[in-house]
Structure 1
Amino acid sequence: MKQAEVPGDSPDITIVSTMYRSYPFLEQFLGDCLEALADIKCNYFEILLVNDGSPDDSLRYSLQRKVDISQLVVVDLSRNFGHHHAIHAGLQHARGNLVFLIDCDLEVSPLVLVEFYRKLHASGCDVVFGYQEARKGGLFERITGDLFWKGFNLLSDVKIPENIVTERIMTRRYVESLLQMGDRNLFLAGMMSWAGFQQIGLPIVKKQREGRSTYTLMRRVGLMVNAVSSFSAQPLVWLFNIGATITLLSFSFAFYLVFRKLVFDDALLGFTSIMTAIMLSLGILTTAVGVVGIYLGKVFDQVQNRPSYIVKDIYR
């Protein structure tokens, strides 16, 4: 593990980003970071990159750049733990009085640090978060993105501004408070809203990523399930209400059939309706068991108390 001598006090700003298939972007990303830091006249900083088990040359290139960027810090995780876990690792190892979080895929240029920095100092708040006024991408990406945020806010007790992005600048006291949360099932957007403090938004425009995004449809669905189950028990309440409603309707229908038999001497017909009710009940029961299983899985993960990530090496 390579270690460099560092001053005893904290840097003014730490720029935190994660690397996964990021090699094509790193040269421009680092150059823009240095330009942004020069624009705000910050001489004491660190740029912290977390290698989230990237299979390309991201780690090799970032270590090479330490030759000309002494303030570059590389945290190498033992494997791929996922975007949110890698961000969490970056926040835990960041030492700056301010922490600027950004993805390195250049959908948002690091030059926006200047706007975030000035907004933070002008407002005196603890967090300036970025958000999109209009989502980028094609029709499918915009629709699924809107459905994600509307679905989360509908099902969750924690309300999050829609179309927020990774990019944000945070004070040290906010980051320390965020790290006190002991969640093992990480959904950082929800955690960051839940933590409170004064937070204001800054509209930014995201460019279309070059190359294929690592967030597939199935990963988006998985993120939605994890997000809702980590921050709300509302789906369980809805299942109870649905179950109670179906039970009431079933008793009412049974009473109706008995009434028809006693009063009009009707045969207890209605095979189609009965089979439909049975199939509907079975589907709802299976879904209910699955939802309860998801929550039990979350409890199991939390009780195991495994670390969110494992660091293989730190290069300072």
Structure 2
Amino acid sequence: MIDVNQDLRQGMKTERAASAPRYSIVSTMYRSAGFIPAFLSQCLEALRAIHCEDFEIVLVNDGSPDESLDVALAARAQIPRLVVVDLSRNFGHHAAMLAGLGAARGERVFLIDCDLEVSPGVLVELDAKLNETKADMVYGYQEARKGGRFEKLSGGLFYKGFNLLSDTHIPENVATERVMTRPYVEALLRMGDKNLFLAGMMSWAGFKQIGIVVKKKQRDGRSTYTLRRKLSLLINAVASFSAKPLMWLFTGGLCVTGLSLAYVVYLIARKIFFDDALLGFTSVMALTALSLGVTTTGLGLIGIYLGKVFSQVQNRPTYIVRGIHGRD
């Protein structure tokens, strides 16, 4: 199958080689109309602070149902180096971020959410750390999670759950905000994952990575990351990066089988030596229910992995670009 986005990325790669700005700032838009003007203003301030005049700002419209696209296009009148990538529909945050990285041409790429939970001014610290350490990627993380008790608990459990179940370790409380070098970004784009979990992909890619503490404030408005979406992301992330659950399922199945055989031997021994009637209906139903539960869970887990394999071998693009505004 022809990968439309692969051809598009190849064309963008050729274009980058011809005219690569020093910095690309990449962000995604979904219900972001109210944030964009302030976000763009703060981005320009951050670029001035690091004395960067050769830049581009790439905003990816992830099928936003509000006026985000119109607001971004209108802002191009004041910011000619603003590039707007319009996706054909909502593909999700991670696919939209990957689309932005694919469109970015900069020698360095600053990835950030536009909801102003983290100020674009953090670019100053990230850029300084990258210069100081000669790292390939400097990422931000929260020293203590923001929000209420539920948000802190669910966020903490997400990272602990992923690191427990996965062979790939990601820093706890890692933020979207990070600065990356061009070789590192190109490595991410070559990975070809269809089941996207960028935090895992970024850790798996290797290179020299360094974290610094960033401060996140509570965003205005309701977050689009609900508990259901967090659970879905956790399942997708673990299934994409680890076979540990399958190994644990196999081990659990062996344990249940062993216990069942031992119980059967116990019942037979009671019959032989004590002439007891075989323990009745309750015991049989309990064992049946336990076996059925383990079997159903196992089939469901295997189904998740088969679904991931199916998505990968389909080789459909992870996103489709409807149009790019601001680039000839």
Question: Residue 243 of structure 1 is aligned with which of 250, 253, 256?
Answer: 253
Question: Residue 151 of structure 1 is aligned with which of 152, 161, 181?
Answer: 161
Aligned to 1:63: 73
Residues 16 and 106 in structure 2, CA contact (< 8 A), matched pair in contact too: no
Aligned to 2:62: 52
Aligned to 1:166: 176
Aligned to 1:225: 235
Structure 1 residues 60 and 202, CA, compared in 2 at 3 Å: closer, same or farther?
same
Question: Residue 311 of structure 1 is aligned with which of 294, 297, 321?
Answer: 321
Q: Which string of whole-angstrom CA distances, capped at 9 and with x for unpartnered residues, describes residues 102-154 of structure 1? A: 00000001011111011100111000000001000100011111111001000
Aligned to 2:263: 253
**Whole-angstrom CA distance in 2 between matches of 1:123 and 1:228:** 31
**Whole-angstrom CA distance in 2 between matches of 1:13 and 1:284:** 52
**Whole-angstrom CA distance in 2 between matches of 1:212 and 1:77:** 23
Measure how far apart 1:272 and its partner are: 2.0
Residues 28 and 59 in structure 2, CA contact (< 8 A), matched pair in contact too: yes
User: Match of 2:34, SS?
Assistant: helix
Question: Residue 14 of structure 1 is aligned with which of 18, 24, 44?
Answer: 24
Measure how far apart 1:274 and its partner are: 2.4
Aligned to 2:42: 32
Q: Which string of whole-angstrom CA distances, capped at 9 and with x for unpartnered residues, describes residues 90-112 of structure 1? A: 00110000000000000001011
Residues 25 and 109 in structure 2, CA contact (< 8 A), matched pair in contact too: yes
User: Match of 2:324, SS?
Assistant: strand
Question: Residue 92 of structure 1 is aligned with which of 96, 99, 102?
Answer: 102
User: Match of 1:24, SS?
Assistant: coil
Measure how far apart 1:8 and its partner are: 4.1
| Aligned CA-pair RMSD | 1.3
Structure 1 residues 36 and 299, CA, compared in 2 at 3 Å: closer, same or farther?
same
Q: Which residues of 2 match residues 84-233 of structure 1 at below 5 A?
A: 84-233=94-243
**Whole-angstrom CA distance in 2 between matches of 1:190 and 1:86:** 16
Q: TM-score, normalised by structure 1?
A: 0.97
Measure how far apart 1:280 and its partner are: 1.4
Residues 16 and 105 in structure 2, CA contact (< 8 A), matched pair in contact too: no
Aligned to 2:3: none
Measure how far apart 1:68 and its partner are: 1.0
The answer to whether residue 274 in structure 2 is matched with residue 264 in structure 1 is yes
Measure how far apart 1:71 and its partner are: 0.6
Residues 138 and 211 in structure 2, CA contact (< 8 A), matched pair in contact too: yes
Q: Which string of whole-angstrom CA distances, capped at 9 and with x for unpartnered residues, describes residues 50-73 of structure 1? A: 000001111001111111101100
**Whole-angstrom CA distance in 1 between matches of 2:237 and 2:22:** 32
Measure how far apart 1:9 and its partner are: 1.9
**Whole-angstrom CA distance in 2 between matches of 1:238 and 1:37:** 49
Deviates more, 1:224-233 or 1:279-288: 279-288
Q: TM-score, normalised by structure 2?
A: 0.94
**Whole-angstrom CA distance in 2 between matches of 1:271 and 1:209:** 57
Q: How many pairs were matched up?
A: 312
Give the unaligned 5+ runs of structure 1.
none
Deviates more, 1:294-303 or 1:272-281: 272-281
Measure how far apart 1:7 and its partner are: 11
**Whole-angstrom CA distance in 2 between matches of 1:196 and 1:314:** 31
Residue type at the aligned position of 2:49: D
**Whole-angstrom CA distance in 1 between matches of 2:45 and 2:167:** 40
